[in-house]
Each structure stands twice: as structure tokens, then as C-alpha cells.
């Protein structure tokens, strides 16, 4: 049976997709101008996508994902929040912190140092997950 009382928040969806585009673009160190050139639109159009002012067509999203090397499905499922558009989006400060950390991480040179930092992060994350599991079992 098809659900008839589904709530769609188009503005929230456009903003969420735009925010993801910006997130991936910045994490890859790509300017709006360069992304626009690579996918065949203006940098102003990229800005409109990122701000949620324009819908992103499927073909444009496919091009963006190809250029930025990111999975298409990452634009439609938000961790711990369900599909986008299911509830209004708020500004997430933690997301901005994540972006800043990822961008800084990508600037670490030489590659050996970046690998050591990555291993440290993974080790700390595993320890945090183990501690959380111990608390939930108690």
C-alpha cells in the first residue's frame, strides 16, 4: 500500500543536497569555478546549488559525484536522521568542525605523517567504541 500522508520538505532537501555538495567540494580542495568548469555550469550556479536556491538535476549530480569522487547515495541518507526531507534541517556546527578537520587532514604532508595520524584516529575511535560497548553491557 502506498503511504498517502507523506511530508516532503523541498527546501530542506535542496539545502541538504547543496550542503553536501559544498562539503565534498571543500574537502577535495576544489573551487566553485573549477567544479563549474568541469561539469559545464557557472560558478554562480554552483553557489546556487550549494545554498539550496536551485534544484540539482540527476545528470548534474552525477557529474558532480564523478568529479568529486563521492557516492551518489551520500546525498540522500543522513546519518542518524533518515532520508533527507523527512524533517526540517538545522545548521549543524559539528558538521562544520568535521569539514575543517577533514580539510586540514588532507593538507598534511608528507604522506607517511598523514598515515600515522589516520592510524591514531582509527585507534582512538576503536577505543571509544569499546568503552561505549562496555558501558552498554554494564
Residue 119 domain-assigned (yes or no): no
Q: How many domains does the chain have?
A: 1
- Residue 24 grid cell: 565534498
Residue 33 domain-assigned (yes or no): yes
Residue 80 domain-assigned (yes or no): yes
pLDDT higher than 50, residue 11: yes
Q: Give the pLDDT band (50/70/90) at residue 86.
A: very low
Total-model pTM: 0.55
Q: Give the pLDDT band (50/70/90) at residue 26.
A: very high
- Residue 56 grid cell: 540539482
Tell me the helix, strand and coil percentages in the chain, rounded to 5: 65, 5, 30
| Residue tagged 608528507 (cell numbers) | 110
Provide the pLDDT for residue 85. 47
Range of 44's domain? 10-90
Residue from 29, 26, 21 nearest 45 by CA: 21
Alpha carbons 1 and 14: distance in angstroms, whole number: 28
At 47, which CATH number? 1.10.260.40
Least confident among 1-10, 29-38, 52-61, 106-115: 1-10
pLDDT digit string, tens, across residues 49-78:
999 999 999 999 999 999 998 888 888 764
Residue 104 domain-assigned (yes or no): no
Residue 38 domain-assigned (yes or no): yes
Alpha carbons 67 and 61: distance in angstroms, whole number: 10
Residue 85 domain-assigned (yes or no): yes
Residue 16 domain-assigned (yes or no): yes
Provide the pLDDT for residue 117. 86
pLDDT higher than 50, residue 82: no
Q: At what angle do helices 58-68 and 32-39 cross, to 10 degrees?
A: 120
Residue 86 domain-assigned (yes or no): yes
pLDDT digit string, tens, across residues 38-51:
999 999 999 999 99
Amino acid at each position: 500500500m502506498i503511504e498517502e500522508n507523506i511530508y516532503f520538505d523541498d527546501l530542506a532537501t535542496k539545502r541538504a543536497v547543496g550542503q553536501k555538495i559544498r562539503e565534498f567540494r571543500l574537502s577535495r580542495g576544489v573551487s566553485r569555478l573549477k567544479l563549474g568548469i568541469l561539469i559545464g555550469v557557472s560558478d554562480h550556479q554552483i553557489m546556487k546549488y550549494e545554498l539550496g536556491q536551485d534544484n540539482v538535476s540527476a545528470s548534474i549530480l552525477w557529474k558532480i559525484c564523478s568529479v568529486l569522487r563521492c557516492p551518489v547515495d551520500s546525498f540522500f541518507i543522513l546519518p542518524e536522521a533518515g532520508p533527507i526531507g523527512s524533517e526540517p534541517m538545522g545548521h549543524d556546527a559539528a558538521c562544520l568542525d568535521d569539514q575543517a578537520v577533514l580539510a586540514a587532514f588532507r593538507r598534511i604532508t608528507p604522506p607517511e605523517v598523514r598515515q600515522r595520524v589516520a592510524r591514531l584516529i582509527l585507534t582512538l575511535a576503536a577505543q571509544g567504541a569499546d568503552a561505549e560497548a562496555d558501558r552498554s553491557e554494564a
